[in-house]
């Protein structure tokens, strides 16, 4: 449980209003996709108004070995994956930047945020979508080591039926299954490490109302990974709401970035869509 610090309520907006340097006319929004996915997951985000005081540059990344980077080897650990992606952060951290990740991407964004803060360049904020906090994750058996059929069944049940339908196509299955297995292995290894690092950046944790894989309570436990403010947001949609409900996500982010305040660090305020 963190002590409430009223000054930290302005943590997200103050650097944007003041400006970090004369060249800081943009804020980089660096987005990481879910397991098996790619930068296309954020295709609807490019022209969204997130309520930032300055223009945001969308930087949607792809993982090595995935569909947009097929010539590179897959990563099988968070350390290796972060090593590959960190350059995208370092080349932008002299101006404001926000790290955003969906599912696996939330954990990747957290790891990149940790490295950036250690180097003295913390992100303006960390946004996690459809992602349980490391403290909230428990794995009783290895998903990545299941047989192909059992793996597909579990993924279909946990992350909604569309994935199972895609994996029924033989050619798609041959391409996508090794990628999904590698990504799930990263999640399992990272979860078992029980990382206890605390960030100073504010964390915005977003949960889907119909997400069968990540509960609101699991998302809320991101408060245990920051000394800053925690904003817990609920939006319509299943595990893939960053694609299917991008407008709703943007609306919730606008509320936070334009009207930061009233958030208790020990009990995050849940913001639900108006009917």
In contact, 16 and 124? CB cutoff 8 Å: yes
Tokens of 70: 């097929």
Model pTM?
0.85
* Neighbour-count burial for 174-203, b at 16+ CB within 10 Å, e otherwise: eebbebbbbbbbbbbebbeeebeeebebbb
- Say if CB 89 and CB 82 are below 8 A apart: no
Contact 91, 112 (CB under 8 A): no
SS (H, E, C) the chain: CCCCCHHHHHCCCHHHHHCCCCCCCEEEEEEECCCCCCHHHHCCCCCCCCCCCCEEEEEECCCCCCCCCCCCCCCCCHHHHHHHHHHHHHCCCCCCEEEEEECHHHHHHHHHHHHHHHCCCCCCEEEEECCCCHHHCCCCCCCCCCCHHHHHHHHHHHHCHHHHHHHCCHHHHHHHHHHHHHHHHHHHHHHHCCCCCCECCEEEEEEECCCCCCCHHHHHHHHHHECCCEEEEEECCCCCHHHHCHHHHHHHHHHHHHCCCCCCCCCCCEECCCC
- Other Cβ atoms less than 10 A from the Cβ of 237: the count is 21
Hunting for tokens 């792809």 — which residue is that?
62
Of 15, 78, 7, the C-alpha closest to 227 is 7
In order along its 275 residues, the chain shows pLDDT tens digits of 333 332 232 333 333 322 333 345 689 999 999 999 999 999 999 988 888 877 889 999 999 999 899 999 999 999 999 999 999 999 999 999 999 999 999 999 999 999 999 999 999 999 999 999 987 776 656 787 899 989 888 888 888 766 777 887 888 899 999 999 999 999 988 876 666 788 999 999 999 999 999 999 999 999 999 999 999 999 999 999 999 999 999 999 999 988 654 233 333 344 444 44
State residue 250's pLDDT score: 95
* Residue 59 φ/ψ, nearest 5 degrees: -125, 90
pLDDT at position 197: 80
Q: What is the dihedral of CA 181, 186, 189, 195, to 10 degrees?
A: -160
Let me know: does 102 contact 242? Beta carbons within 8 Å: yes
Distance separating alpha carbons of residues 131 and 86, to the nearest angstrom: 20
List, in order, residues 6 or more apart from 225 with CB less than 8 Å away.
110, 133, 134, 135, 197, 198, 199, 203
Backbone angles phi, psi at 155, to 5 degrees: -60, -40
Q: What is the pLDDT of residue 157?
A: 85
């Amino acid at each position: 449980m963190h002590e409430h610090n009223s000054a930290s309520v302005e943590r997200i907006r103050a650097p944007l209003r003041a400006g970090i340097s004369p060249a800081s006319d943009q804020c980089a929004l660096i987005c990481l996709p879910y397991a098996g996915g790619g930068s296309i997951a954020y295709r609807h985000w490019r022209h969204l108004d997130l309520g930032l005081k300055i223009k945001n540059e969308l930087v949607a990344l792809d993982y090595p070995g995935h569909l947009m980077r097929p010539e590179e080897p897959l990563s099988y650990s968070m350390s290796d994956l972060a090593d590959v992606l960190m350059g995208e952060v370092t080349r932008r951290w002299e101006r404001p930047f926000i790290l955003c990740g969906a599912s696996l991407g939330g954990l990747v964004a957290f790891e990149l945020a940790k490295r950036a803060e250690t180097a003295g360049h913390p992100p303006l904020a960390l946004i996690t979508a459809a992602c349980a906090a490391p403290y909230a994750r428990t794995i009783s058996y290895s998903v990545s080591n299941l047989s192909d059929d059992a793996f597909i069944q579990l993924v279909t049940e946990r992350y909604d039926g569309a994935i199972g339908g895609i994996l029924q196509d033989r050619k798609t299955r041959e391409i996508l299954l090794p990628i999904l297995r590698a990504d799930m292995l990263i999640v399992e290894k990272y979860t078992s490490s029980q990382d206890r690092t605390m960030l100073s950046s504010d964390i915005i944790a977003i949960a889907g109302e119909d997400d069968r894989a990540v509960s609101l309570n699991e998302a809320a436990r991101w408060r245990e990974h920051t000394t800053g403010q925690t904003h817990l947001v609920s939006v319509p949609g299943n595990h893939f709401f960053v694609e299917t409900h991008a407008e709703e996500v943007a609306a919730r982010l606008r509320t936070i970035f334009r009207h930061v305040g009233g958030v208790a660090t020990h009990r995050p305020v849940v913001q639900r869509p108006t009917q």
